Amino acid sequence: MAYENITATAEDNIGVITINRPTKLNALNRATITELHDAIKAYDANTYVKAIIITGTGEKAFVAGADIAEFANFSVEEGEKLAALGQTLLFDLVQNLGTPVIAAVNGFALGGGLELAMACHFRVASDNAKMGLPEVSLGVIPGYGGTQRLPQLIGKGRAFEMIMTAGMVGAEDAKAWGLVNHVVPQAELLDFTKGIAAKIIKNSPVAISKAIKAVNAGYTIDGYNEEIRGFGEAFGTEDFKEGTTAFLEKRKAEFPGK
């Protein structure tokens, strides 16, 4: 299948999906989310592919966030639908996929990019990678599972700090906190990740699928539903209008406050 925003290749029982929007720093728009969904579903159904790696084109960005211009004028209802559809179509799909999915984080993983990486079963980062959830700087909250998966991975306190400050963490801190499993030089990232995938595919795919299901069973969906509601409600606030307008106008936001 031909894609416009991603590339998908398979070799040695490993499928590699590369987000390919370099002029947008691989930002996620609706078309890219749909193509990722289609490619992941196709590889999951393909008996040849026993592990999947998701990465980004180039050395700057895995995914530098969502495409803000696409939803800056959404209503509350449209915002809630955006989060719910995105979680169902891609992020929950990745987390619950029976085929192992590894994120090879090759640079900036911000907002929806970090949320995509966190939905993967685990992460490997290049040494220049930087990760963060900057949504509150736009007057909104993470809407693709970030408020749930980040504290699950690094703990509540650190997650609150990252979300509230809208700041980024480097690769080594991300490793120390448990956000990524390994940090390697940029040039070695894909080969290193393929090496881990090669170890995985030697084992029973049926057992691995059941293990993924069992681990994920330890987390409930109530928090994700609350995130969807909160994300949607943010679209009706003056803070969201100011935050997204400032971003698109390339200026610092001046929030009106509570």
Between CA 247 and CA 81 the distance in angstroms is: 22
Q: Which CATH superfamily is domain 6-200 in?
A: 2-enoyl-CoA Hydratase; Chain A, domain 1 (3.90.226.10)
CA 116 to each of CA 47, 80, 207, 257: distance values in angstroms, whole numbers, following the listed order: 24, 18, 24, 30
Taking only the tens place, the pLDDT of each residue in 26-81 is 999 999 999 999 999 999 999 999 999 999 999 999 999 888 888 888 999 999 99
**Contacts of residue 65, Cβ cutoff 8 Å, sequence gap at least 6:** 25, 27, 28, 110, 111, 112, 113, 134
Res 258: pLDDT: 63
Residues that are catalytic: 115, 135
Taking only the tens place, the pLDDT of each residue in 109-150 is 999 999 999 999 999 999 999 999 999 999 999 999 999 999
Residue 224 is encoded by which pair of tokens?
């994700």
Helix ranges, 26-145 (H)? 30-45, 76-86, 92-96, 112-119
Residue 28 is encoded by which pair of tokens?
């996620």
